[in-house]
Chains A and B, each alone.
Chain A
Amino acid sequence: MARLSSPEELEKFRQEAISMRDPARLCVSVCAGSGCVATGAGEVIAALGAELRKQGLEGEVDLKRTGCHGFCEKGPIVVIAPEEICYLEVTPEDIPEIVSATLKEGRVVERLLYVDPSTGERVTREADIPFYKHQERLVFGANRTIAPESIEDYLAIAGYQALAKALFEMTPEQVIAEVKEAHLRGRGGGGFPAGVKWEVAREAPGEPKYVVVNCDEGDPGAYMDRSLMEGNPYRVLEGLMIGAYAIGAHEGYIYIRQEYPLAVENLCGAMKRAEEHGLLGKNVLGSGFDFHVKLHRGAGAFVCGEETALLMSLEGKAGEPRARPPYPAVRGLWAKPTCINNVETWANVPLIINQGARAFTSIGTEGSKGTKIFSLVGKINNTGLVEIPMGMTLRDIIYKIGGGIPGGKKFKALQTGGPSGGCIPEELLDLEVGFDELTQAGSMMGSGGMIVMDEDTCMVDVARYFIHFLTDESCGKCLPCREGLRQMHKILSNITEGRGKESDIELLEELSETAAEASLCALGKTAPNPFRSTLRYFKGEYEAHIKEKRCPALYCKELISYYIDPEKCQACGRCLRECPAEAIDGGKKMIHIVDQEKCTKCGSCLEVCPPRFSAVRKISGEPVPPPIPEDQRAIVRKSKKQ
Chain B
Amino acid sequence: MDNARIDRIIESHGGEASSLIQVLLEIQGENRWLPREALKRVSDRLQVPLSRIQHIATFYKTFSLSPRGRHEVHICMGTACHVRGATRVLDAVQDLIGIGPGDTDLNLRFSLDTVNCLGCCALGPVMKVNGKTHGKLSPAEAVEVLKSYE
Contact = CB atoms under 8 A, between A and B. Distances in A.
Interface string A159-192: 0000000000000000000000000000000000
B92 interface: yes
Nearest to A466: B79
Contacts of A227: 119
B9 interface: no
B80 A35 contact: no
B121 interface: yes
B71 interface: no
B125 to A, nearest CB: 12
Contacts of B79: 220-221, 377-378, 415, 418, 449, 451, 465-466
Nearest to A221: B79
Contact of A378 (B22, B80, B91, B115): B80
Given A300-B60, A580-B92, A34 B120 contact: yes
A318 B59 contact: yes
A602 B90 CA distance: 10
Given A316-B20, A378-B79, A457-B83, A218 B116 contact: yes
A473 interface: yes
A314 B18 contact: yes
Given A300-B60, A415-B79, A226 B92 contact: no
Interface in A442-458: 449, 451, 453, 457
B5 to A, nearest CB: 19
Contacts, number: 148
B40 interface: no
A311 to B, nearest CB: 11
Interface in B12-44: 16-22, 24-25
A259 B59 contact: no
Contacts of A72: 120-123
A290 to B, nearest CB: 19
Given A34-B118, A602-B139, 4 more contacts: A378-B80, A453-B83, A600-B95, A602-B91
18 contacts: A34-B118, A217-B119, A218-B116, A222-B121, A223-B120, A259-B117, A296-B22, A301-B59, A318-B59, A379-B83, A383-B80, A384-B122, A469-B116, A580-B92, A580-B143, A600-B95, A603-B139, A604-B138
Interface of A: 34-35, 37-39, 72-73, 75, 217-223, 226-227, 258-260, 296-302, 313-319, 375, 377-379, 383-384, 415, 418, 449, 451, 453, 457, 462, 465-466, 469, 472-473, 475, 578, 580, 600, 602-604, 607
The 6 A-B pairs of least Cβ separation, nearest first, read: A72-B122, A300-B61, A223-B119, A220-B78, A299-B60, A38-B133
